[in-house]
Amino acid sequence: MTSNQTRFRVRYAETDQMGVVYHANYLIWMEVGRVELVRSLGFQYKDLEQNDGLYLSVIEAQCRYVFPACYDEEIIVETSLAKVSSRTLAFSYRISSADPDRLLAEGSTRHIWLNREWKPTSLPESYRSALQVAVNAV
Amino acid sequence: MTSNQTRFRVRYAETDQMGVVYHANYLIWMEVGRVELVRSLGFQYKDLEQNDGLYLSVIEAQCRYVFPACYDEEIIVETSLAKVSSRTLAFSYRISSADPDRLLAEGSTRHIWLNREWKPTSLPESYRSALQVAVNAV
Amino acid sequence: MTSNQTRFRVRYAETDQMGVVYHANYLIWMEVGRVELVRSLGFQYKDLEQNDGLYLSVIEAQCRYVFPACYDEEIIVETSLAKVSSRTLAFSYRISSADPDRLLAEGSTRHIWLNREWKPTSLPESYRSALQVAVNAV
Amino acid sequence: MTSNQTRFRVRYAETDQMGVVYHANYLIWMEVGRVELVRSLGFQYKDLEQNDGLYLSVIEAQCRYVFPACYDEEIIVETSLAKVSSRTLAFSYRISSADPDRLLAEGSTRHIWLNREWKPTSLPESYRSALQVAVNAV
């Protein structure tokens, strides 16, 4: 299974008065992770929307919080493509801090493809085979 | 099981370029819901932090998205206290639009209590019994 | 000059690790304020977008922060329509806490109307006269 | 005047239903810019808070929007330290897209230093001289 690592620093805006990152922001980080995974496979989610009229809609999201992320820490989001079918996608995520190297959270998202009329649709074969490679790779 | 309903309108800031509410915002709405549920039970989460040094930390969050929320819609978050123990809490949420009356999402969160030193701690008996009432109520 | 007051509570998500509301959120609150001002004048910004293809684009925003807003406080946004022309709008805002009654911030935004092709456009006369009333009212 | 450039991609979460970046996010980007400017001068804002109990509070923010930022674009925030005194700081920002190279927005923020008791305070001389160098540099 291919995975992609993307890195960024925690923004002040992402913290809350508990002194750590507000939990909803991890879902935003997962979004950053899956966009970069798709880019690493040779295409861009942006083009799917603009050129193909395909929207990757989230139908389920889940996150288990292990250790709090702190302001200015370097975060690593490791994203894997867990499952691909013609109509759905599933990603899994491992979010950790770089220094110290520590697991912060694990999560997953499930998605369906929608067309411009907001109807469920299938991903064209060319894209699907590119994604399938990522699932099958060891 | 006691539940609390809280209502607000979707903000423009909460939408994304898909034309609907960005999915991470539902976790923020759940937070609004559980704060109002606690208030309806006669105390305030704010006081737990300030006066008792107790922090309700999220250890798991999950959301299933059924229908997209749109800008300016009136949203109803119905929050229930699913489980109370001395050290943990679990809430469940039903998020819907007011007009048309339509289920948008269902979710749940699990929490532990932390003290000012970020150590897991127990909720004092007085609070716990107030919460327990909400779980037992029919 | 007509003004509109809208009220809501500070969300936990809006705080940062300084223990108060993160400053960018005040711009979101201003957005909430101007949408409610427009609603109080008898129409909805949502309809301008959907039915008339008119988008109110921000070209300038400014905020002066006087006193920090805290978690769970009730916030009052008082919004006034400062200026209306065929192509531009200017709003001013007074953000305060309800209890204690205290000024938190003052700000302003300037806007232009864009059409569906993102070209500057004029607001139809019917809407403009409704807005003009709000500026002229004493 | 020393300036610092920092780069990142627009997140999907930062867009709104107008199809471009929601305007309040530019203030978050300015925060990212000034943190990186401070880091480039040899110290970290995080340490000022944790070790010295100094908080850089925003007292004014202003942004002029020139061209909309789009999803997935690479953004460049060029931050300059406009003014340093013992009690205040002022930054200016130039936000542009990398490709095409285009000015998106210009802004500024003014700040005061607060101590742990939320009282205005002076920045220790060692930090101030480091910042002053950045203002004086050509």
DSSP D17: T
Alpha carbon of A138: minimum distance to chain B alpha carbons (Å): 29
Order of strands across the sheet with C3-9? C3-9, C74-84, C88-98, C101-114, C55-65, D55-65, D101-114, D88-98, D74-84, D3-9
Alpha carbon of C103: minimum distance to chain D alpha carbons (Å): 13
Q: Which of B18, B25, B118 sits opposite A55 (nearest CB)?
A: B18
CA dist B14 and B29 (Å) reads 11
Which is it for the CA torsion A2, A44, B10, D69, positive or negative?
Answer: positive
Query: Confidence band (pLDDT; 50, 70, 90) for C45?
Result: very high
In this prediction, residues A93-122 reach a mean pLDDT of: 97
pLDDT at C138: 55
- Cβ of residue A19 closer than 8 Å to a chain C Cβ: yes
CA dist B31 and C81 (Å) reads 33
pLDDT at C2: 79
Size of interface B-C (CB pairs under 8 A): 27
String of DSSP letters for D56-120: EEEEEEEEEE-S---TT-EEEEEEEEEEE-SSEEEEEEEEEEETTEEEEEEEEEEEEEE-TTS-B
- Contact between chains at C17 and A13 (C-beta distance less than 8 A): no
Helix (H, G, I), strand (E, B) or coil at A67: coil
- Cβ of residue D71 closer than 8 Å to a chain A Cβ: yes
Q: Give the Å distances, CA to CA, from D63 to C69, D104, D118.
A: 21, 10, 26
Alpha carbon of A58: minimum distance to chain B alpha carbons (Å): 7
pLDDT at B126: 87
Between A126 and D60, the more confident residue is D60
pLDDT in tens, A68-79: 999 999 999 999
Active-site positions of A? 16
pTM, to two decimals: 0.97
Q: In chain D, which residue's Cα lies nearest the Cα of B14?
A: D16
Asked if residues B122 and B86 have their Cβ atoms less than 8 Å apart, the reply is yes
- Cβ of residue C7 closer than 8 Å to a chain B Cβ: no
pLDDT at A75: 98
Q: Give the Å distances, CA to CA, from B96 to A89, B60, D27.
A: 25, 22, 32
- Interface predicted TM-score (ipTM) of this complex, two decimals: 0.96
Query: Confidence band (pLDDT; 50, 70, 90) for A138?
Result: low
Please give the helix or strand (H or E) that residue A138 lies within, else none.
none
- Cβ of residue C32 closer than 8 Å to a chain D Cβ: no
pLDDT in tens, C70-126: 999 999 999 999 999 989 999 999 999 999 999 999 999 999 999 999 999 999 998
In this prediction, residues B112-117 reach a mean pLDDT of: 96
- Cβ of residue D103 closer than 8 Å to a chain B Cβ: no
- Contact between chains at C35 and B72 (C-beta distance less than 8 A): yes
pLDDT at D126: 87
- Contact between chains at A17 and C19 (C-beta distance less than 8 A): yes
Q: Among residues A63, A94, A89, which one has the least CA distance to residue A76?
A: A94
CA R_g for chain A? 16
Ranges of residues in chain D whose predicted pLDDT is under 50:
none
pLDDT at B130: 87
CA dist C56 and C115 (Å) reads 9
Catalytic residue list contains B16: yes
pLDDT in tens, C18-37: 999 999 999 999 999 999 99
Percent of chain B residues topping a pLDDT of 70:
99
- Contact between chains at A16 and C13 (C-beta distance less than 8 A): yes
pLDDT in tens, D57-80: 999 999 999 999 999 999 999 999
Helix (H, G, I), strand (E, B) or coil at A120: strand
Supply the mean pLDDT for chain A.
95
List CB contacts (< 8 A) between B45 and chain C: 72
List CB contacts (< 8 A) between A24 and chain C: 13
C partners (3+ CB pairs within 8 A) are A, B, D
pLDDT at A101 over 70: yes
pLDDT at B78 over 70: yes
CA dist B56 and B45 (Å) reads 8
pLDDT at B137 over 90: no
Helix (H, G, I), strand (E, B) or coil at D23: coil
CA dist B76 and D45 (Å) reads 40
pLDDT at A71: 97
Helix (H, G, I), strand (E, B) or coil at A96: strand
String of DSSP letters for B43-90: --HHHHHHHH--EEEEEEEEEEE-S---TT-EEEEEEEEEEE-SSEEE
pLDDT in tens, B40-77: 999 999 999 999 999 999 999 999 999 999 999 999 99
In this prediction, residues B8-37 reach a mean pLDDT of: 98
With vertex at residue B90, the alpha carbon angle to CA A78 and CA A20, rounded to the nearest 5 degrees, is: 45
List CB contacts (< 8 A) between B71 and chain D: 17
Q: Which residues contact C125 (CB under 8 A, 6 or more apart)?
A: none
Alpha carbon of D138: minimum distance to chain B alpha carbons (Å): 39
Direct distance between the N- and C-terminal alpha carbons of chain C, in angstroms, rounded to an integer: 5
